[in-house]
């Protein structure tokens, strides 16, 4: 039986020539036993008629916010909650841009913004539009938001030019969804604790010691684990990121507060992944007013060591609990990672080297090696969402 059987899928269709292939995709999904709700943009209807789509899906196609003659309101919120997955195929440059920026001017985008389920996009456009920095930027933003991009193929395009921008074939898109549901819920019933972001160590009311971590990697891990059914708590230092969908997010500021939140939860945790860039030191005293150059004459700040959260949890780890850490290294990367694995009593460590372009802080991509006591797997440069999936796959294989 197909993994799609009984699944609720929103098929979003935006206005591109490739919309004709969405009919085949719809047929494949329905044939595999999925319940499919089509949401089409006003432009999409120029390419394919709602009559075809509703007869194949067995449901009225949603396009406008209201049904014109009855005034009936279509709830994007209900749809967003109903879905187990949302696939937008074709996703035009304009739809990708609106998704990336929250421009909610049609039913497809409002549904996307309300969707609690994983979202997939299959871009389709002419090669120049595909290669434009704006499209690249929007796709990167969407990936960082947790959207899975089903890469377009190189081939003949509607313009008769040959290049990258041809929507992936419906059979392959259906296969991606099938695989997603197959591997879907292996963390169901598992309690996970993830740390992310930097910590800020206050010097005075307006200054702190911190670092350049943005939290993107840890947030991607938390989101991926939640998608796979885990009950995830994310303990996050200060970041500009939104709380990941389906995750309990606890915001902290300093290493000590992060430590408290982690220690109190660890006993009840199956898998802990420490991806925060915790400040190693904090000022010994907090000066309760803004330090003034003229009066205070502060020329040095005495520091004290912060607790090592990963090592503390490592020392309390029970058999069956899994603890993973990160190592961001500039030199002797592998040796340092192995040393941390042992010293902190971790089960695995994710090594990323600052020497690799596109890896480490702030980027949307990462290049990692996963190391445990028994093996070592090196991955190519990928989006942080894809790296999160690799990390979760690796941990799942150890369960
Ligand atoms: O020793 P180092 O800081 O390089 O170790 C990195 C790993 O240890 C990461 O997993 C990080 O989240 C964790 N760590 C921690 N508490 C600290 C320092 C690091 O949990 N105070």
pLDDT score for 201 = 98
pLDDT score for 121 = 97
User: Pick the residue with more confidence: 81 or 232?
Assistant: 232
Rg (CA), the chain: 24
pLDDT grade, residue 353 (50/70/90)?
confident
User: Which ligand 1 atom is the nearest neighbour of the CA of 280?
Assistant: 21
* CA nearest ligand 1 atom 1, residue: 340
Distance 343 CA to ligand 1 centre (A): 11
Mean pLDDT of 2-25: 95
pLDDT grade, residue 68 (50/70/90)?
low
Tell whether the model's pLDDT for residue 1 goes beyond 70.
no
Tell whether the model's pLDDT for residue 372 goes beyond 80.
yes
Among residues 367, 364, 371, the alpha carbon closest in space to that of 394 is found at 371
Task: State whether residue 297 is helix, strand or coil.
Answer: coil
Q: Which of 200, 235, 310 to mutate to test the pocket of ligand 1 (most atoms within 8 A of CB)?
A: 310
Rounded to whole angstroms, the Cα distance separating 43 from 48 reads 9
Cβ-based neighbours of 7, under 8 Å, separated by 6 or more? 33, 34, 35, 84, 85, 181
The most confident of the ranges 142-146, 229-233, 249-253 is 249-253
pTM assigned to the model: 0.63
Q: How far apart are the first and last CA of the chain?
A: 26
pLDDT score for 298 = 84
Do 344 and 310 form a contact (C-beta atoms < 8 A)?
yes
Do 286 and 312 form a contact (C-beta atoms < 8 A)?
no
Rounded to whole angstroms, the Cα distance separating 147 from 102 reads 14
Mean pLDDT of 250-271: 98
Cβ-based neighbours of 24, under 8 Å, separated by 6 or more? 170
Mean pLDDT of 23-49: 97
Distance 198 CA to ligand 1 centre (A): 11
In eight-state DSSP terms, residue 241 is: P
pLDDT score for 151 = 87
Residues taking part in catalysis: 211
Give exposure, 297-317, as e/b (b: 16+ Cβ within 10 Å): eeeebeeeebbbbbbebbeeb
pLDDT score for 161 = 86
Q: What are the structure tokens assigned to 207, written together? A: 């200054």
The number of helices, as runs of H, and strands, as runs of E, in the chain is 14, 21
User: Pick the residue with more confidence: 354 or 397?
Assistant: 397
Mean pLDDT of 54-80: 82
User: Pick the residue with more confidence: 330 or 207?
Assistant: 207
Tell whether the model's pLDDT for residue 217 goes beyond 90.
yes
pLDDT score for 299 = 87
pLDDT score for 238 = 98
pLDDT score for 105 = 93
The most confident of the ranges 178-187, 313-322, 379-388 is 313-322
pLDDT score for 266 = 98
Distance 200 CA to ligand 1 centre (A): 14
Rounded to whole angstroms, the Cα distance separating 64 from 44 reads 12
Cβ-based neighbours of 30, under 8 Å, separated by 6 or more? 36, 56, 57, 58
User: Which ligand 1 atom is the nearest neighbour of the CA of 324?
Assistant: 10
pLDDT score for 6 = 93
Tell whether the model's pLDDT for residue 267 goes beyond 70.
yes
Lowest mean pLDDT among 168-182, 259-273, 330-344: 168-182
Q: What mean pLDDT is reported for the chain? A: 92
Tell whether the model's pLDDT for residue 184 goes beyond 70.
no
Distance 119 CA to ligand 1 centre (A): 32
Tell whether the model's pLDDT for residue 335 goes beyond 90.
yes
Q: Which residues line ligand 1 (CB under 6 A)?
A: 195, 255, 274-276, 278, 280, 306, 308-310, 325-327, 340
Tell whether the model's pLDDT for residue 70 goes beyond 80.
no
pLDDT digits (tens, 9 = 90+) for 112-153: 999 988 899 999 999 999 999 999 999 999 988 889 899 898
User: Which ligand 1 atom is the nearest neighbour of the CA of 336?
Assistant: 4
pLDDT score for 251 = 98
User: Pick the residue with more confidence: 142 or 399?
Assistant: 142
Cβ-based neighbours of 229, under 8 Å, separated by 6 or more? 184, 185, 186, 187, 188, 189, 190
Q: What are the structure tokens assigned to 397, written together? A: 């294989």
């Amino acid at each position: 039986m197909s993994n799609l059987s009984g699944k609720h899928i929103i098929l979003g269709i935006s206005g591109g020539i490739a919309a004709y292939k969405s009919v085949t995709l719809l047929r494949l999904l329905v044939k595999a036993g999925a319940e499919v709700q089509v949401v089409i943009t006003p432009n999409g209807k120029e390419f394919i008629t709602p009559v075809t789509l509703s007869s194949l899906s067995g449901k009225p196609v949603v396009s406008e916010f209201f049904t014109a003659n009855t005034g009936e309101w279509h709830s994007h919120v209900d749809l967003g909650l109903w879905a187990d997955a949302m696939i937008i195929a074709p996703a035009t440059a304009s739809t990708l841009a609106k998704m990336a920026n929250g421009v909610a001017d049609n039913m497809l985008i409002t549904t996307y913004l309300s969707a609690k389920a994983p979202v997939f996009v299959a871009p389709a456009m002419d090669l120049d539009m595909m290669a434009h920095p704006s499209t690249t930027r929007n796709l990167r933003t969407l990936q960082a938001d947790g959207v899975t991009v089903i890469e377009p193929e190189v081939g003949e395009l509607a313009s008769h030019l040959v290049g990258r921008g041809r929507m992936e074939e419906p059979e392959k898109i259906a296969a991606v969804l099938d695989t997603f549901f197959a591997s879907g819920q292996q963390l169901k019933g598992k309690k996970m604790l993830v740390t992310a972001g930097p910590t800020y160590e206050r010097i005075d009311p307006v200054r702190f010691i911190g670092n350049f971590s943005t939290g993107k990697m840890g947030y991607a891990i938390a989101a991926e684990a939640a998608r796979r059914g885990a009950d995830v708590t994310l303990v996050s230092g200060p970041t500009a990121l939104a709380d990941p969908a389906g995750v309990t997010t606890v915001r902290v500021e300093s290493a000590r507060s992060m430590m408290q939140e982690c220690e109190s939860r660890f006993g009840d945790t199956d898998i802990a992944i420490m991806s925060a860039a915790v400040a190693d030191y904090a000022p010994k005293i907090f000066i309760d007013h803004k330090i003034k150059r003229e009066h205070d004459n502060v020329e040095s700040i005495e520091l004290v060591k912060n607790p090592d959260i990963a090592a503390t949890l490592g020392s309390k780890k029970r058999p069956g609990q899994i603890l993973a850490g990160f190592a961001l290294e500039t030199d002797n990367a592998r040796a340092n990672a192995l040393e941390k694995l042992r010293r902190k009593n971790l089960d695995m460590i994710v090594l990323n080297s600052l020497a690799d372009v596109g890896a480490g802080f702030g980027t949307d991509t990462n290049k990692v090696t996963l190391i445990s006591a028994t093996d070592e797997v090196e991955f190519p440069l990928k989006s942080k969402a894809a790296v999160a999936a690799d990390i979760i796959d690796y941990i799942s294989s150890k369960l």
